[in-house]
Amino acid sequence: MKYTPTGVAGVTIIDIEPHRDHRGFFSRSFCADEFVSNGLIADVAQTNICHNRTRGTVRGLHRQAPPHAEAKLVRCVRGAIVDVAVDVRPASQTYGKHVMVELNAENRRALFVPPYVAHGFQTLTDDAEVMYQVSGPYEPASEEGFRWNETEFGINWPLPVTEISEKDANWPELCQATAPDRTGAS
């Protein structure tokens, strides 16, 4: 696999390196030893699948608050999405910056999102399906969210928002949110 750092500390693009023959191809999509050697968290506590019916759907921006570290490896297995990781770790050198990467069933690309970085995505196609491996169990009381259209983040979503949950649409603006715990910075 090929590991490409991004402009947000710890967020990494992971591309498969397929071995092709007349049958198709074979490739690893996850290897704990390679993750560790590239400085990434290799623990997998659960795997989630998220189906999205409508193009333009936004999910996020979410994270687990300290001390509940939750790294994610996100992959789109049907259709296409733009995946977004926003550094909301106040002590991080890349605080406030975001990365937007297209993940789709054809490019088979994945995005690694380290703990305490907010994550969300927008579907580019109808019936998009997203699978992600998570390093820790979901702790509902530790969920934090950030506005998908937070001015400070400057995210330019590629499509008009067609669907969003009431909870995601109503997270407080960053200036109104409680100051996040300063742990988890890179």
For 92-147, what is each residue's pLDDT tens digit?
999 999 999 999 999 999 999 999 999 999 999 999 999 999 999 999 999 999 99
The pTM of the full predicted model, rounded to 2 decimals, is 0.92
Catalytic option among 98, 116, 119, 132: 132
Residue of 100, 51, 44 whose CA lies nearest to 73: 44
Give the pLDDT band (50/70/90) at residue 186.
very low
Active site residue 62: yes
pLDDT of residue 155: 97
Q: Of the given ranges (32-41, 71-80, 175-184), which has the lowest mean pLDDT?
A: 175-184
The beta-strand segments (E) located in 36-127 are 46-52, 58-64, 72-78, 80-86, 98-104, 110-113, 118-123
| Nearest C-alpha neighbor of 10 from the set 102, 117, 107 | 117
Tokens at residue 164, please?
Answer: 């969003």
Rg, the chain, Cα only = 16
Q: Of the residues 22, 51, 62, 68, which is catalytic?
A: 62
